[in-house]
Homo-oligomer: A and B are copies of this chain.
């Protein structure tokens, strides 16, 4: 067997909250003015009550509403594959499994949180959302989700991606979203996730019909993504594995990593590995500190690894990993030694993606290709030592809308790597 599916009624009906399993209790976000812990009232202009509750919850499990399950069922549970042809090509004794989140409507893991976010907002009477998007994976996911609940959507898209990747804009428009390039006030700026967050938060401020939605970083976002790891855990058992030796995912804001890795945090023998681009090395070269989530300093201060909220990463193709900060939950796990992090240059990432496409047939998103690079290196290390390592990585999205990146790689046009 090389693929394990689950019946539709095996979609997890509760999200896994990692908070009770952290080595230390999480530090609270601080108000940007007072530097006091933010309360629900501070967040109410941005988020619905249900999500604010999830943001600070210490409950071990949180129920998934039936209306959300009804929509997740369009593509979940997602398949778990064993990459036997890759194993053979590498000559490794490792067994490589990957969870395929590319089968969602938007082609990535992002709809797992877009759907509940749209649902809770609609339930509280909100009729319009604003958001930012990098490469466009989050924006497409939220556009799809808003279409399900009749919400209007305004997307601020990082200009570098807006210009390089017009197809994702079209996908958002197909689902009824409106898209503009960010920063809106500086047409010569390539943009960044931080700046786009500022634009989206500004648009939302003072409009009672409008809330803001974030595709990563925050606790409730990573919570919604844990369906990935919960399903994978069950599927690995169907595959005859007890637990993986290592769980690998790319990390920008941390949502696909948290999604696949958090359910394994209580299993002490399982290594957890974050993979980031060398040109935006938040976890590997940043400092752990309170910093703003956005460029303009409009958001609460978050306790996280950061390169500084004014850091503008180079225009690499993995737009979803161009973020100065990181999820506070991921940051805490790295700081406390429960999670490792590694950074790769863009060229080596695409080498791995092309090898994976050749032998496994799947063209990965540049973000996801980071996980593939680290997986191949883990499998080669296992070959060195002759170890039967079990590797699980998250195939967070396909690259059909990122083929210009492969074009640049194949024709030697990737810019020189940083670091």
Choose from B174, B407, B410 the contact partner of A166 (Cβ within 8 Å): B407
A400 within 8 A of B: yes
Query: Main secondary structure on chain A at its contact with chain B?
Result: helix
Render A14-44 as a binary contact track against B, CB cut-off 8 A, 1 for contact: 0000000000000000000000000000000
Residues of B within 8 A of A398 (CB): 400
Query: A107-B400, A166-B407, A170-B410 are known contacts; what are 16 more A-B pairs with Cβ within 8 Å?
Result: A2-B8, A2-B73, A3-B73, A74-B360, A103-B103, A104-B361, A166-B404, A167-B167, A170-B403, A170-B406, A171-B363, A173-B406, A173-B407, A174-B406, A174-B410, A175-B357
Cross-chain contact A358 with B176 (CB below 8 angstroms):
yes
- Bound complex: CA of A75 vs CA of B170, how far in Å? 27
Render A382-419 as a binary contact track against B, CB cut-off 8 A, 1 for contact: 00000000000000001011011011001000000000
- Bound complex: CA of A175 vs CA of B358, how far in Å? 6
Cross-chain contact A361 with B105 (CB below 8 angstroms):
yes
Copies in the complex: 2
- Bound complex: CA of A171 vs CA of B170, how far in Å? 20
Choose from B74, B174, B410 the contact partner of A354 (Cβ within 8 Å): B174
- Bound complex: CA of A363 vs CA of B75, how far in Å? 13
- Bound complex: CA of A104 vs CA of B103, how far in Å? 11
**Which parts of A320-353 form the interface with B (CB within 8 Å)?**
none
Choose from B5, B170, B175, B361 the contact partner of A144 (Cβ within 8 Å): B361
- Bound complex: CA of A105 vs CA of B358, how far in Å? 10
Cross-chain contact B174 with A363 (CB below 8 angstroms):
yes
Residues of B within 8 A of A104 (CB): 361
> What 4 A-B pairs are tightest by C-beta distance, nearest first?
A105-B361, A400-B400, A170-B403, A167-B403
